[in-house]
A and B are shown apart, each in its own frame.
Chain A
Amino acid sequence: MIQISDDIIIKTLARVLVPFILLYALYVIMHGHHSPGGGFQGGVILGASLVLLVITHGLKDTQKRISEKSVAIFSSLGVLIYAGIGVLCLILLGNFLDYSKLAILLNVPLAQARSLGILGVEIGVGLAVMAVMFSIFCNIATGGKQAEEDND
């Protein structure tokens, strides 16, 4: 288990910086059209901010805020959003992930429907990547003994 660091400078700075890093990751996800970014890169930055919290504040305190159950729910939610948009395009008589058929549902021009479809898919990917990165880090850091500690 990663122990808490008894240094007040690093703890204070990590607490101050993490909200801004999360905000910047959201900006990177949303601006995938115009600048380098998109789903995967934003998800990695989100995961890195959670890893910073674990390093400075210890694993036990961080898991009081972000439990194992919520991490599993986030990853499943990300995949659900991605596959859900694809199946919705199938239901509307198109191919899988054929965003042009979403224009019927949303009442917008064809090009804007494609843009919104890609944005929705990127959000799903970002959530899934964040959850998986955090969960892999916690499992490797405790050497796989995490489930046994919960059962005690």
Chain B
Amino acid sequence: MDTFFVVIGMGLCILVLFVLYRVVYGPGVFNRVAALSAIGNKTLIILLIMGFVYHRVEMFIDISMVYALLNFIGTIAASKYLEMEGSIS
């Protein structure tokens, strides 16, 4: 079962490398923010898989919940800032 988890984790890491292409080359800032949200989703699952591989899930659950929260708040803050055309007034 451990090798299965490691294989899934490696697959997800390769997918993150593909999404990084859109972060670098996306024309405009909106594509970059959407790709960053996608990277955050994959990171959340990679964290939980690391918890299963090391047989210590209880530690990694709290960290992944906090990361999901901060990813959500960051995306909403970025979209609100871009909506007001570069200024917050």
Contact = CB atoms under 8 A, between A and B. Distances in A.
Asked if chains A and B come from one complex, the reply is yes
A36 B69 contact: no
Contacts of A56: 76, 80
Main secondary structure of the interface of A (DSSP, over half): helix
Interface residues of A, number: 20
Given A55-B77, A55-B80, A21 B62 contact: no
Interface residues of B, number: 15
B45 interface: no
A1 B88 CA distance: 7
Given A35-B62, A37-B62, 6 more contacts: A3-B84, A24-B65, A31-B62, A36-B59, A36-B63, A55-B73
Interface of A: 1-3, 5, 10, 21, 24, 28, 31, 35-37, 41, 45, 48, 51-52, 55-56, 141
